[in-house]
Amino acid sequence: MNEASTPFITLGNHLKYVREQSRQTLIEVSGAVEIDAQRLERIEAGIERPAEDILLLLISHFGVADREAVQLWELADYDSDMPDQIKHEGGADQQFSAKNVVMLVGFDTRSIYSDGLDIIWNKAGMTLNFTQATGPSQNLSVARIGMSYEQAEQVLHDLQQAVLRAKYIGDTKLLPPSSSHKA
């Protein structure tokens, strides 16, 4: 491929490097930012420039440092329209302050079904990584939830109650919120 057919090769190589350093597959990352794996592959190959919102999602998903985020934005030729999440008053070359960090949170009320669960723990708590099988030896992460040990114990208790109710009572009523849950 020549430079004309891969105008964003530097950007693509950088995004691929970041993905590989985070030890994530094309399928995992494309699922996290809700694009086709083939499209992400074209972006990483430098054939296609990611839309601004997709680039922001990739930057957020990988937790890219401020200076690196600016570099990615500029490599995509979006430097003239740099969003407030990336730019800093006084120029992009200065160190970012914590007060300029913006977190994008999307709420999705759809139910996602899982056929696998990986649990990672450390002294601070645990992370439940719900997965779906996408092939003979490949799983796609569909939801990741972190919690303290105290909350995990409450979730376990609530799940046990729900299973018992479903098994022996058969109704579909919701359990009353426990006193330890905060809205």
For residue 79, the domain's CATH number is: 1.10.260.40
Separation of alpha carbons 46 and 43, rounded Å = 5
pLDDT at 177 over 90: no
Q: Indicate if 71 and 131 belong to the same structural domain.
A: no
pLDDT for the residue numbered 96? 44
Domain limits for position 21: 9-88
Q: Is residue 182 included in any domain, yes or no?
A: no
Q: Is residue 105 included in any domain, yes or no?
A: no
CB contact at 8 A, 41 and 76: no
Rank 15-19, 75-79, 86-90, 94-98 by mean pLDDT and report only the highest: 15-19
- Mean per-residue pLDDT, 148-162: 90
Q: Indicate if 22 and 79 belong to the same structural domain.
A: yes
Look at 63-72, 101-110, 157-166 and tell me which has the smallest mean pLDDT.
101-110
Tell me how many domains the chain contains. Answer: 2
pLDDT for the residue numbered 63? 87
Last residue of a domain, one of 88, 104, 129: 88
Separation of alpha carbons 117 and 139, rounded Å = 10
Q: Is residue 54 included in any domain, yes or no?
A: yes
Separation of alpha carbons 77 and 89, rounded Å = 20
pLDDT digits (tens, 9 = 90+) for 127-138: 888 888 877 877
pLDDT at 97 over 60: no
**Mean pLDDT estimate for the chain:** 78
pTM (2 d.p.): 0.46
Q: Is residue 60 included in any domain, yes or no?
A: yes
- Mean per-residue pLDDT, 133-161: 86
Q: Is residue 15 included in any domain, yes or no?
A: yes
CA nearest neighbour of 92 among 62, 84, 146, 109: 84
pLDDT for the residue numbered 114? 84
